[in-house]
Chain A
Amino acid sequence: GDSVTQMEGPVTLSEEAFLTINCTYTATGYPSLFWYVQYPGEGLQLLLKATKADDKGSNKGFEATYRKETTSFHLEKGSVQVSDSAVYFCALIEEYVDMRFGAGTRLTVKP
């Protein structure tokens, strides 16, 4: 069945460092792909999405490109800030399939 695998954390970076969080997926059809973020004490919120191959989702300096050939949707940011400290979830959805989330990657950014 459909599933998402993302890199294990936690990830600790210094401010202004480059961030990559890997995400790969397994799907039977053509899923839409998402990154959700969970800040401390808050609910999950959508960070970015991509609905078809080669689409790039972007928001708040974060980017991810839908790579069908490698079944990947890696999250990147060129320069992280302390305020980016959160748990990041990769997810997918298909028609007739519920939203599937990865296990989450905790990011801590130190000043």
Chain B
Amino acid sequence: DAGVTQSPTHLIKTRGQQVTLRCSPKSGHDTVSWYQQALGQGPQFIFQYYEEEERQRGNFPDRFSGHQFPNYSSELNVNALWLGDSALYLCASEPRDRPKTGELFFGEGSRLTVL
């Protein structure tokens, strides 16, 4: 049973560029959340998707956008990158057909470096 998979694992971009990160949830999970983890910090919630719509959003600017596909996989897009966007981006999945348990399954993350 595959867990949460993310790609790419590492990438380097320059300021002003755009990036797309991808996530496949754990089998049986239909809800995907994205988190930003800066160096030495805890993960910060970006947004959550289920039924192909953004359902909840954290305190991140509109430069951060996402998408969920019919197969429940998801993308995170960040436009106009700046140095402060350098971080580990984590995807987490959970099944929707249960109460909010907080039992998230995380991928290993995509480490983005902005130069």
Instruction: Determine chain B's interface SS by DSSP, over half rule.
Output: loop
**How long is the Cα–Cα vector from A101 to B42 in the complex, in angstroms?**
5
Map CB proximity to B onto A50-67 as digits: 1 under 8 Å, 0 otherwise.
000000000000000000
A interface, size bucket: 20 to 34
**How long is the Cα–Cα vector from A99 to B43 in the complex, in angstroms?**
9
Q: Is B20 an interface residue (CB 8 A)?
A: no
Q: Is A41 an interface residue (CB 8 A)?
A: yes
**Total A-B contacts with CB atoms under 8 angstroms apart:** 53
Verify B43–A49 contact, CB threshold 8 A.
Answer: no
Verify A104–B41 contact, CB threshold 8 A.
Answer: yes
Q: A42-B108, A104-B42 are in contact. Are A98 and B103 (CB under 8 A)?
A: no
Instruction: Determine chain A's interface SS by DSSP, over half rule.
Output: strand
Chain A residues with Cβ below 8 Å from B92 are 44
Interface size on B, residues (CB 8 A): 24
Verify B104–A46 contact, CB threshold 8 A.
Answer: yes
Chain A residues with Cβ below 8 Å from B104 are 44, 46, 99
Q: Is B48 an interface residue (CB 8 A)?
A: yes
CB within 8 Å of A: which residues of B?
A: 3-4, 33, 40-45, 48, 56, 58, 90, 92, 100-109
Q: List 8 A-B contacts (CB under 8 A).
A: A32-B102, A43-B106, A44-B90, A91-B102, A101-B42, A101-B43, A101-B44, A103-B40
CB within 8 Å of B: which residues of A?
A: 4, 32, 34, 41-46, 49, 89, 91, 93, 95, 98-104
Known contacts A44-B92, A49-B103, A103-B41; can you find 14 more A-B pairs with CB under 8 A?
A4-B42, A42-B108, A43-B3, A44-B43, A44-B90, A45-B106, A49-B102, A89-B42, A93-B100, A99-B33, A100-B45, A103-B42, A104-B40, A104-B41
